[in-house]
Structure 1
Amino acid sequence: MMGRIRTGTIAGVAGLCLAIAAPVAARAESLADAMADAYRNSGLLEQNRAVLRAADEDVAIAVSSLRPVVRWVGDVTRRFGESGTGGLPARSIGESTASLGLSADLLLWDGGRTRMDLDIAKESVLAVRQALIGVEQNVLLAAVQAFMDVRSSYEIVTLRRNNIRVITEELRAARDRFEVGEVTRTDVALAQARLAQARSNLAQAEGDLAIAIESFRAAVGRAPGNLTPPPVMRMPAGSVDAAKSVALRNHPDLRRLQFEVTATELGVRKARAATNPQVTLRGQIGVTETFDSPDFSETGSIGIEAGGVIYQGGQLRALTRKAMAQRDAKRAELLATQRVVAQNVGTAFARVQVAQAALGAVDEQIRAARVAFRGVREEAALGARTTLDVLNAEQELLDAQANRITAASSEYTAYYGLLSAMGQLTVSDLRLNVPQYDPTAYYNMVKDAPSAISEQGRQLDRVLQRLGKQ
């Protein structure tokens, strides 16, 4: 009864695994296909693209501060009551007036503070673009990891099934030899125990495959197809120093921080200019009409206003010191990140070398283990080896083959990890066949702060409608 229960359980798990892996046989799919779909389907990329669009709008907001500000105000008032003088009878008061006014302000000069706001916004946009590239690298690296995990898990499942078939044959041979008195019941029990262990390992491998498929769905946005072997990889740099040099020039984290340092330096200049006077051109026009009489008035004025802060309780100096501290902190962060990036490149380069060496060593291990297994099995047929010797030799071969699968997966993951550490794991660098997001397209539409009634503003509204429907 227990044997039938275990067999049914294993068959059920195997059936579930095959059902999960059924799409694998649907169509051939390369690693580049998986990365392209991860790029296309990533919600994380969409989130950070929206963050970039928000930063683009900061430029438009800064531009608007350099333009005239036009306001209108309207008023309708009803005055009522009574008034009297001395002993004269009280006189009723009732009057309705309406007024409409327009005013316009134009900043003429403020010591460059508003212009520096615009420059800071532009530097922030460039920084956010680099942050988006960093997210893109993470998305593609996650797709590579998910792809290799599914492939290696599926190969290990196949290996475990073959192992069960081999051990089943060993068990059948042990029983036959037991029937003729060549071995003892212990040999049969050892084969049965090893078969039970192999079935347990298969169940674990099938579970790992199911988990890998779910991770693939999360990283790529769909179920995996028939994953083909990844292409042959070459070292992206001839030496670790060359790889570090590329990373220090191109890594998006460093470039982001460089733009942020520039923005904080502009922030210091802006804080220091806070005591400069501000000159504003101001004009207004208004009309007032009284409904209960023919009285009306039309007024207008235009003038230049200048003013500035002399003393504000020490706030301006405090803001300057704060801006300087923020600049110093960002510079220190840039220096620290340069060291981290260099360290990550060195680590990734070493991992590639380790993976290459491990793969070569495990290939030697497989060749030796296969020769040993065949020899032990032939010697066991002649009575010179026990069933345990055969099972142990078979297990060593199995372990070597499983290590080979893991080592091959680690090698590819290490290659792409090195590309990521160098800042070259992008759709553009990999030449993936997928439409690329243009971070400048939205910026070019909003950088001049178009009005709602302009053609550019109407075009922008259509773009926003399309984005809202996605």
Structure 2
Amino acid sequence: MKRNRQATILLAAALFAVRLPATACAAHAPSGPITVEEAIRLTRETNPKMKQAAEGVNAAEARVTESRSEFFPQVRITAGYRHIDPVSEMDFGGTTMKFMPNDNYDAKVKAEMMLFDFGRTANRVDIAKSGKKSAGYELEMTGRELSYSTVRTFYGIIFLTEAVRVQEREIAALRKSLDYARKLYNEGAATKFDVLSIEVRVSAAQNRKTDLETDLRNNEISFRRLTGIAPGSPLDLKGEFTFSPSGYELETLTASALEQRVELELAKENELTAKYKKSLAAKEGMPRIVGTAAFGYTNGYLIPPAPDISEIRRNYAAGVELQLPIFTGFRTSAQNREAKAMMLAAEQQRIDTEQGVREEVERSLNSLKASIGKTGSTDLQVSQAKLAAEHARIRYQNGLATPLDLLDSEAALAEAELGHLQALYECTMNSYALRRASGDQFMQ
């Protein structure tokens, strides 16, 4: 009976362990079509890098509290025992009198507080606060970069899915041509070379389709990792290539970027932190005033009228101490040089970041304008290729065109459709790249 009960418990535990991962996976399985906004939301909520950056903010906040600790008294309890032998003693008319016991006991509550340090603690608090702001900016940057990666992967999947469909249409058209060529070959109206040429084209198209499908699967893997979607969950993405063909002004976009880009705020904060560190380094050679107080119990006192050095007595102490560094092994001068160099480096970083932002905005705008121009030309190429393919099929069926002419027209149509699709994808990506460059955080 006992053995059966144990088996039942083990079976229940095993079933619970098996069901637990399934429940966890279900929490990250989408319930419907995923839009780009939903994908960004999932990434920001579930990606480990976002959680890591958020914990960095928590750690920076803890450092602010830690830096303020010098404003408060530092209280501790100490207790100890010490045996001393020999001890000081004197003989008074045949009686030996000890001035301190062999066994010494001591228990105290000690408090120490910084009274004045010429603003060094305040500088440390300012440095910690600046570090907290920097951690917040890094969190925003992490969210923006993850969101942008999600957008690229999202539209990459849509592009590759449609590219696979285009390739499938090309393969279907080539197979029709292959069937017709085989029919003509059997009738003696075509050569073996004509059939082999089409077969080679079919094989090449299938290879391109395989490459596209591989890229599609890899993009889906990356998308699941970014958004936290379980590996076994199907992906149903809902979206289309969208962009605005006009309304872009370089001056307006640059001004927006210089006002909103988090990198610039971070560079300015780093510059401010360096100034705080320089101020702190300049004060390291100044004195420090510390107040101390203690209360406790110890033995060893000679208190009349009946002195007993072994008796535990209550005692207290209080005082003020001036601490002035005289020689620190060149540490103070080195800290001053380091702080000055860090401040100059932070200033150059801010200048470089500003120049980089201006460059990124201009490059992104140029890329977007170029890709917008490509959409019009590629759309015209698709229309021309469709008409040419239709004419080639009719001419081939009437014996007025060779199989190679037909193959060339089908390949040109597929290439034109892929080119137009690629142009739409690039327009969408360049549009998002320009939004990123101008300071958009992709919060929506």
- Scaled by the length of structure 1, the TM-score of the pair is 0.79
Task: Determine whether 1:173 maps to 2:189.
Answer: no
Aligned equivalents of 1:229, 1:361: Cα separation in 2: 23
- Shift in Å at residue 133 of structure 1? 1.0
Aligned residue pairs total 403
- Shift in Å at residue 64 of structure 1? 0.7
Question: In the alignment, residue 253 of structure 1 is paired with which amino acid?
Answer: E
- Is the 1:31–1:230 Cα contact (8 Å) retained in structure 2? no
Matches within 5 A, 1:188-207: 188-207=195-214
- Shift in Å at residue 80 of structure 1? 6.7
Distance 1:237 1:78, change over 3 A: farther
1:156 is matched with which residue?
Answer: 163
- Is the 2:241–2:428 Cα contact (8 Å) retained in structure 1? no
Aligned residue among 106, 119, 124 for 2:126: 119
Pick which of 371-380 and 278-287 moved more.
278-287
1:145 is matched with which residue?
Answer: 152
Question: In the alignment, residue 436 of structure 2 is paired with which amino acid?
Answer: S
Question: In the alignment, residue 201 of structure 1 is paired with which amino acid?
Answer: R
**Per-residue CA shift, 1:345-374, capped at 9, x if unaligned?**
111111211221112211111011001111
Pick which of 304-313 and 390-399 moved more.
304-313
Aligned residue among 273, 278, 285 for 2:288: 278
- Scaled by the length of structure 2, the TM-score of the pair is 0.83
1:29 is matched with which residue?
Answer: 34
Distance 1:62 1:246, change over 3 A: same
1:463 is matched with which residue?
Answer: none
**Per-residue CA shift, 1:58-100, capped at 9, x if unaligned?**
1011111111111221013455789998xx9x99998544321
Residue segments in structure 2 that go unaligned for 5+ positions in a row = 1-28, 301-307
Matches within 5 A, 1:405-420: 405-420=421-436
Question: In the alignment, residue 270 of structure 1 is paired with which amino acid?
Answer: L
1:335 is matched with which residue?
Answer: 351
Aligned equivalents of 2:50, 2:318: Cα separation in 1: 50
- Is the 1:146–1:219 Cα contact (8 Å) retained in structure 2? no
Aligned equivalents of 1:316, 1:75: Cα separation in 2: 36
Aligned residue among 225, 236, 239 for 1:229: 239
1:7 is matched with which residue?
Answer: none
Aligned residue among 180, 198, 209 for 2:216: 209
1:40 is matched with which residue?
Answer: 45
- Shift in Å at residue 294 of structure 1? 6.1
Aligned equivalents of 1:257, 1:161: Cα separation in 2: 50
- Shift in Å at residue 236 of structure 1? 10
Aligned equivalents of 2:187, 2:296: Cα separation in 1: 118
Aligned equivalents of 2:79, 2:179: Cα separation in 1: 100
- Is the 1:235–1:415 Cα contact (8 Å) retained in structure 2? no
- Shift in Å at residue 52 of structure 1? 1.9
Residue segments in structure 1 that go unaligned for 5+ positions in a row = 1-23, 431-470
Question: In the alignment, residue 169 of structure 1 is paired with which amino acid?
Answer: K
**Per-residue CA shift, 1:309-355, capped at 9, x if unaligned?**
24445442332122111100110111011111111111111121122
1:259 is matched with which residue?
Answer: 269
Aligned equivalents of 2:259, 2:58: Cα separation in 1: 26
**Per-residue CA shift, 1:162-203, capped at 9, x if unaligned?**
222111111111122233343333322222222222222222
Distance 1:340 1:236, change over 3 A: farther
Aligned equivalents of 2:312, 2:77: Cα separation in 1: 19
- Shift in Å at residue 406 of structure 1? 1.9
- Is the 2:86–2:102 Cα contact (8 Å) retained in structure 1? no
- Shift in Å at residue 141 of structure 1? 0.9
Aligned equivalents of 1:192, 1:154: Cα separation in 2: 25
Distance 1:177 1:236, change over 3 A: closer
Aligned residue among 333, 343, 347 for 1:317: 333
Aligned equivalents of 2:413, 2:348: Cα separation in 1: 53
2:76 is matched with which residue?
Answer: 71
Three-state SS of the structure 1 residue aligned to 2:440 is: coil
- Is the 2:101–2:309 Cα contact (8 Å) retained in structure 1? no
Q: Percent identity?
A: 20
**Per-residue CA shift, 1:89-143, capped at 9, x if unaligned?**
x999985443211221111111111101101111111112111111111101111
- Shift in Å at residue 233 of structure 1? 3.3
Pick which of 363-372 and 235-244 moved more.
235-244
**Per-residue CA shift, 1:27-52, capped at 9, x if unaligned?**
42211111111112211111122222
Aligned equivalents of 1:139, 1:333: Cα separation in 2: 23
Question: In the alignment, residue 367 of structure 1 is paired with which amino acid?
Answer: S
- Shift in Å at residue 235 of structure 1? 7.3
Pick which of 61-70 and 401-410 moved more.
401-410
Task: Determine whether 1:326 maps to 2:342.
Answer: yes
